[in-house]
Every structure is written in C-alpha cells, then in structure tokens.
Amino acid sequence: MLTSVSFYTLGCKLNHVETSSIVQQFIRSGFNVVDFTEKADVVVINSCTVTTSADAECRQIISRAKKNSPGAPIVVTGCYAERDPDSIASIEGVTAVVGNSDKHRLVDVVSQKSIYQFPSVESFVAARSMGEDNRTRAFVKLQDGCDYTCTFCTIPRVRGSARAMPIQDVQSELALLRQSDCREVVLTGVNLGEYKAPTGERLIDVLRLFEQASPNFRIRISSIEPNTVTQEIIRLIAQSKIFVPHFHIPLQSGSAEILRSMKRRYNPTRYADLVHRIKESMPHAAIGIDVITGFPGESDELFEETYTFLTSLPFSYLHVFTYSERPETPAAAMLARVPERIRKQRTNRLRVLSSVKRRDFEYGELSAERTVIPEHYEERYGGWVGWTENYIRCVVREPKSATKEPRTLVLTEDNVVGLLPASAESADAVLE
C-alpha cells in the first residue's frame, strides 16, 4: 500500500504554488508527506522547461529520486512533462507523465504501473500555497496560460491559452484568505496582467475587489507584463493601504531591434515611460526587471544599448536570464547566434549592475520607516528576517519566541540584510 510521498519542484513560483495544492490533495487522501531526501512510496516531480538547464536538472532530479526511493513510482508533471512527455517516459523509473492541465489529478494516477498521460484540457485550475515552512505569506494563482507569441518562449505551448479564475471564485478565495493567519498575499499567474474572467472582469476589477474588502493582510502583485500595467492599476496601488509598492516588470531587452525580433508588445521608450510614471506616483516603489542576454542577433552594440538603457532607469534589481534555445520556438531557428561564452559574460555584467542598483536603492531607503513582516528566524543575523512593503529584506532582532505580527522598522545599515557586512545575499533574489 502506498502511504508516503515526496515532492520536488523546479522553476517558477507558480509551479511551487501548484505543488502546494497537490501536497494538500495527497494529505487529504491519507498520504504522509516526507522530505525528498527520505525514502518515499511515491515521488512527484513538478518540472520546468524555460531553459535547457532546467530540462537537464529535471533529469538529474529523477536520478536522485531513484536513489532516494528505490523502486518507488516516479510521477513527473509540469512544463517539461507537457513539452516532451516521450523523452521523460523513456527514463528508467518514471511511471507516469502528466500534463499541466491535469496535475491536479495526480492522486488518481500514482498507482498506475505504466506510462499514463491524461488528455490535455484547457480549463482553469485554482491553486494556492499557504503556511508553508511556517511562513506568513500566501500565494494565489489567479490566471494561467498565455496568448502572446514571443519568439523565445515555449510557455504558451506548455501552459496553453490564457484563462482565469472566475470572479465569484476570486471572492471565495478572498473569504478563505481572510480566515487564515497569512499577513501577505501574492497574486500570481503566467500572464497576470491579461487576467480576464469568463464574465469579462479584468485585473483592475480583481484589484478593486480586494481593495474594497480591506483585508487584514497586505497584497503583492507578482510579475506583470509592461503593456498590461495601466494607469488605473498604478493609481490604485499608489493610493492603496493594502497593495504594496512593488512591481516586477519584464523588459527582456533595452534594444528596440531585439524587442521587435522577440515580438514583444512595447519598445524601450514606452517601457521607460512606465517606470518613470510608477516612480513619480510612488518614489519609494521597488521595481524589478527581467532581462535576457544573448538573444539571436544581439551584437555587442545592441547589448550596449540594453546596458545603457538599464543604467538610466530607477529600478531596484534585475533578474537576468541567459538565452537558451527552446525547441519549436521561432527564435531557435534564427541565425546570428551569440556564442555561449559571450552570453554568460553579458549575464555576469548585468548581475553586477543589479547588485549596484539594489544597494543604491537600499541606501536611498535608510532612515525610512517601513513595515516588516517577520518570516523566519536566522541565527546568523540574530533575529527574524522578512520583507518590507517595498521589497527590502530586513532583520528584526527579537527572540525566537516573538510573534510574526507586522513590525514598524526604521531602516539602517544594521538591519537591512543586503547592507550587512557578512551578507551573502543574492542580488537576484525575487519572489517570481
């Protein structure tokens, strides 16, 4: 009889949110959840395929699962499973491959003795993570799929077309959140800005719904495409007491030529205008940016355009990706490929810029009074670590017995983690 299960999640925060919901389904079905390093009767791997290295990591995790839990059924789901099920099915030890649309049915297939893949259907499946690792933050999936045609991206293929949680379900989700102990909620999706309920409501309607409810938690919006950040959204967040001033807005390139080749829906001028409008409304807002280095055709001159463009923007941090060819995407067939060595050099250069910008942002916030929600205790800092509303990681030096209620904190070089002398924090640590 199968009684224990372990999980391993790769990739984006949305994958982690969905895994959290799957975990709860297994618990409700009587399974005991054990750590991935322990022997389990069943192993579930939620995969990613955003880069070649993500595919390779998934295969490595399958090998580790076989060593940790010899003979146990291994179920692989997620984006890599959706994109290339045959390759995963051919790996010794894998007993089930399940697509994204059916990952919520994994409990039903763990007893299968041969490869099994549910037929793909594109309906919205809700997911949330709440209370994991004794945290105070909850993540809620509002949207899935994407209808964009960015030439580098395989997500529309593996996640399907855009779809969203019905507005009445959003209201039910809000009611559940208000009954929980969470102090921060993150709204997330594959292309969150394109939220459109079956009855026509858009993202601004969801934000207004939360705002009017005045819940006892603050709300953070996850990554959102620049062409979907309307002035209405900026105005609502600027005036809100519950939405935090933190935006994570993918750029991908500061070169107009590369953006056209990527089939992005904006140009550098429009992007810069958006960033400046946000900072004008919320000077203390944190702005994170995704950038891809080494896209086909990115010459030294075009990369310098991106670098110069970024130095001119008042952002807080970068999340830098080294371009990776994805099968069956238009970019994978493009000529003028950038050598791997050059791609990595450019990635490293932008990560240095990210570190400089992050420290500038944090120094500019010193002496400001911000709200920190303690999340977990860290011995090396002698206190509780958490995030301010504008995404600065801080230490609240109180004993382990302290509660996780929000704290008002005056920021100093002694409590901002990124400015502490012994800090080993990554400049690219982001929620998304």
DSSP-assigned letters across all residues of 284-325: T-EEEEEEEES-TT--HHHHHHHHHHHHTS--SEEEEEE---
C-alpha angle 364/365/371, rounded to 5°? 170
Instruction: For 344-398, write each residue's pLDDT tens digit.
Output: 999 999 999 999 999 999 999 999 999 999 998 999 999 999 999 999 999 999 9
- Domain ends where: 229, 244, 259? 244
Q: With respect to residue 60, please indicate whether it lies within any of the assigned structural domains.
A: yes
In tens, the pLDDT along 63-103 reads 999 999 999 999 999 999 989 988 999 999 998 899 888 88
**Beta-carbon contacts of residue 177 (< 8 Å; ≥ 6 apart):** 130, 138, 140, 185, 215, 217
DSSP letter assigned to residue 337: P
Residue 414 sits in the same domain as residue 382: yes
Final residue before a domain boundary, out of 86, 108, 130: 108
144 and 81 assigned to the same domain: no
* 75 and 168 inside one domain: no
pLDDT band with cut points at 50, 70 and 90 for residue 121: low
H-type helices in 142-255, by residue range? 155-159, 167-179, 203-213, 231-239
Asked whether residue 427 is domain-assigned, the answer is no
Tokens linked to 148: 């964009």
- What integer pLDDT is reported at residue 108 of this predicted model? 83
The residues with which 384 forms a beta bridge, in sequence order, are: 377, 396
At residue 224, the pLDDT reads 98
Bridge-partner residues for 322, per DSSP?
Answer: 293
Rounded Cα distance, 143 and 270, in Å: 25
Predicted confidence at residue 417, as pLDDT, reads 96
In tens, the pLDDT along 148-199 reads: 999 999 999 889 899 999 999 999 999 999 988 899 999 999 999 999 999 9
The residue among 212, 244, 276 that closes a domain is 244
Rounded to the nearest 10 degrees, the angle between the axes of helix 167-179 and helix 203-213 is: 30
Q: What is the phi/psi pair of residue 32, to 5°?
A: -100, 120
Query: What's the average model confidence in pLDDT over 254-271?
Result: 98
Question: Are residue 129 and residue 225 in the same domain, yes or no?
Answer: yes
Q: Is residue 385 part of a domain?
A: yes
Residue 279 confidence (pLDDT): 98
Please report, as a single letter, which amino acid is at residue 137: R
CA pair distance 372, 114, nearest whole angstrom? 49
Helix (H) or strand (E) holding 103: none
Average pLDDT along the chain? 91
b/e map 150-182, b = 16+ CB within 10 Å:
bbbbbbbbbbbebbbbebeebeebbeebeeeeb
pLDDT at 426 over 90: no
- Looking up tokens 């904006």 gives 266
Overall domain count for the chain:
3
Residues 131 and 185 in one domain: yes
Q: What is the pLDDT of residue 428?
A: 44
pLDDT for 117 beyond 90: no
Residue 185: enclosing H or E segment and its boundaries? strand 184-189
pLDDT at 281 over 70: yes
Looking at the fold, whether 49 and 84 belong to one and the same domain comes out as yes
Find the helix or strand (DSSP H, E) in which 37 lies.
none
Q: Does residue 132 have a pLDDT over 80?
A: no
In this model, does residue 432 exceed pLDDT 60? no
Examine the domain organization and report whether 55 and 155 are in the same domain: no
Q: Give SS3 for 352.
A: helix
Residue 360 lies in a domain: no
Binned at pLDDT 50, 70 and 90, residue 427 comes out as very low
Claim to verify: residue 167 and residue 104 sit in the same structural domain: no
- The verdict on 56 and 135 lying in the same domain is no
Residue 354: the pLDDT is 98
Q: 184 and 154 in one domain? A: yes
| 112 close to 106: Cβ distance less than 8 angstroms | no
- My answer on whether 130 and 226 are in the same domain is yes
pLDDT(114) > 60? no
pLDDT greater than 60 at residue 131? no
Task: Name the 3-class secondary structure at 142.
Answer: strand
In a domain, 432, yes or no: no
Query: Given the DSSP bridges, would you call strands 369-378 and 317-322 parallel, antiparallel or unpaired?
Result: unpaired
Instruction: Please give the backbone phi and psi of residue 282, each rounded to the nearest 5 degrees, phi first.
Output: -140, 85
Q: What percentage of the chain has pLDDT greater than the value 70?
A: 93
Contact, 409 vs 369, CB < 8 A?
Answer: yes
Specify which of 12-21, 88-97, 354-363, 399-408 reaches the highest per-range mean pLDDT: 354-363
383 within domain boundaries: yes
Condensed to tens digits (0 to 9), the pLDDT of residues 291-328 reads 999 999 999 999 999 999 999 999 999 999 999 999 88
Structural domain span for residue 89: 4-108
Is 13 part of any domain? Answer: yes
Residue 58 counted as domain residue: yes
Sheet holding 94-97, edge to edge: 32-33, 4-9, 42-47, 74-78, 94-97
CATH number at 16 reads 3.40.50.12160
* pLDDT of res. 430: 40
Considering the domain architecture, whether residues 179 and 215 belong to the same structural domain is answered as yes
